[in-house]
Amino acid sequence: MRFVPRFTDGQEFPCALGKIVCVGRNYADHARELDNPVPSEPLLFIKPSTSAVPLEQLLDAPFSRGDVHFETELALLIGKEVSNATSDEAERAVVGIGLALDLTLRDIQTRLKEKGHPWEIAKAFDGSCPLSSFLHLSQVPNWSALAFTLEIDGELRQHGEGADMLFPVAPLVAEMSRHFTLEPGDVVLTGTPAGVGPLPRGARLHFTLTGGLEVSTEVVD
């Protein structure tokens, strides 16, 4: 089934979801918590459109394959084609802002990283990108004033701020467009702040984003 991005006011985006371009280690505190060096250029990877599921739906994950880590990230909906974009052009290509989970099979990823192998099966599997509806750009403040949170069973676990990104939105999207043409319906994930951990089975998750986005969901037991 094709995933079609929608806005929080119910409006459907005119194209189906395309690829999801992601960045690893875009917050220094998260790089440190996993003992990873802070990168000098963005570490990019892609999740296919088949990895997306609505964030609002009951969250199921391949728990039989080891720890499934949650990573809460700001998601940007791309509204027009950009390639080799300047920061200004990249910023103007973004038409919506939402939240996503970059679900990660951490045990498998660690094993693959140790061998120097690609980690697609740990990051790009079916259902690995629960994705919210998007706020229109007019509903949110400027990038650096954006903040988002994840509470698990009522406890604050992740808190991210646009101002803390090592590669802020405009230069990040511009850099992505130098490697991968971004097309309408593509989504960009901007990295996770500290606080990641294994998704607890049966837990209740609550997400907020500046501008009025709130999503609650539950993990299968």
Token pair for residue 180? 């991968």
CA distance 172 to 23: 9
Helix, strand, or coil here: 123?
helix
Minimal CB distance residue for Zn ion? 102
Q: How many CB atoms lie within 10 A of CB 83?
A: 12
What is the 3-state secondary structure of 32-50?
A: HHCCCCCCCCCEEEEECHH
For residue 142, what are its two tokens? 């400027």
Residue 102 makes contact with Zn ion by CB under 5 A: yes
Quote the least distance from Cβ 71 to Zn ion, whole Å.
4
Contact code string over 62-81 relative to Zn ion, x by CB under 5 A: ---------x----------
d(CA 200, CA 155): 13
Number of Cβ within a 10 Å radius of residue 65: 13
Query: Which range touches Zn ion (CB under 5 A), out of 7-15, 102-110, 129-137, 143-151?
Result: 102-110
Shorter beta-carbon distance to Zn ion: residue 111 or 136: 111
Give the count of residues interacting with Zn ion (CB under 5 A): 3
Considering only residues 20-49, where is the footprint of Zn ion by CB under 5 A?
none
- Residues near 110 by beta carbon (within 8 Å), at least 6 away in sequence: none
Site map (CB under 5 A) of Zn ion, residues 155-194, x = contact: -------------------------------------x--
Question: Whose Cβ is closer to Zn ion: residue 24's or residue 211's?
Answer: 24
Contact yes or no for 99/207 (Cβ under 8 A): yes
- 91 makes contact with Zn ion (CB under 5 A): no
Instruction: Give the contact letters, 119-138, x = binds to Zn ion (CB under 5 A), - = no.
Output: --------------------
Q: Residues 192-211: x/- map of binding to Zn ion (CB under 5 A)?
A: x-------------------
Q: Please report, as ranges, the residues that interact with Zn ion according to CB under 5 A.
A: 71, 102, 192
